[in-house]
């Protein structure tokens, strides 16, 4: 199939670099690149592993019971609590 492509400058430069490095025709490098790109588009994405947050020991709590707000504020603010 013959067609006309309008390539962005950066894409044309990358194709020309690969063409020179692989010593193949421009037609071959364009077809190879399109095949790889199209294969990536239809491929299943790789499964993402689950992330586990590591646990840390924070020590004993300063206030054993958070139900008493006055006690929590007294511990948090020290002598400034009224």
- The confidence band for 82, taking pLDDT boundaries of 50, 70 and 90, is low
Number of folded domains in the chain? 1
Q: Burial, 73: exposed, middle or buried (Cβ in 10 Å; 0-12, 13-18, 19+)?
A: middle
**Residue 49 falls within a domain, yes or no?**
no
| 62 is a domain residue | no
Q: Judge whether 29 lies within some domain.
A: yes
Q: Is residue 35 part of a domain?
A: yes
- Give CA–CA dist 12/8, Å, rounded: 6
The pLDDT score that the predictor gives to residue 81 is 58
Residue 27 lies in a domain: yes
Q: Does residue 24 form part of some domain? A: yes
Check pLDDT > 80 for residue 63: no
Domain residues for 25?
9-42
> 63 lies in a domain?
no
Q: For the residues 40-59, what does the mean pLDDT come to? A: 89
Residue at 68 is within a domain: no
């Amino acid at each position: 199939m013959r067609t006309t492509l309008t390539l962005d400058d950066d894409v044309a430069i990358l194709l020309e670099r690969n063409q020179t490095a692989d010593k193949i025709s421009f037609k071959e490098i364009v077809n190879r690149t399109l095949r790889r790109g199209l294969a990536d588009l239809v491929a299943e994405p790789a499964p993402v592993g689950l992330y586990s947050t590591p646990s840390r020991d924070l020590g004993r709590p300063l206030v054993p019971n958070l139900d008493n707000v006055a006690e929590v504020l007294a511990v948090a603010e020290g002598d400034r609590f009224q």
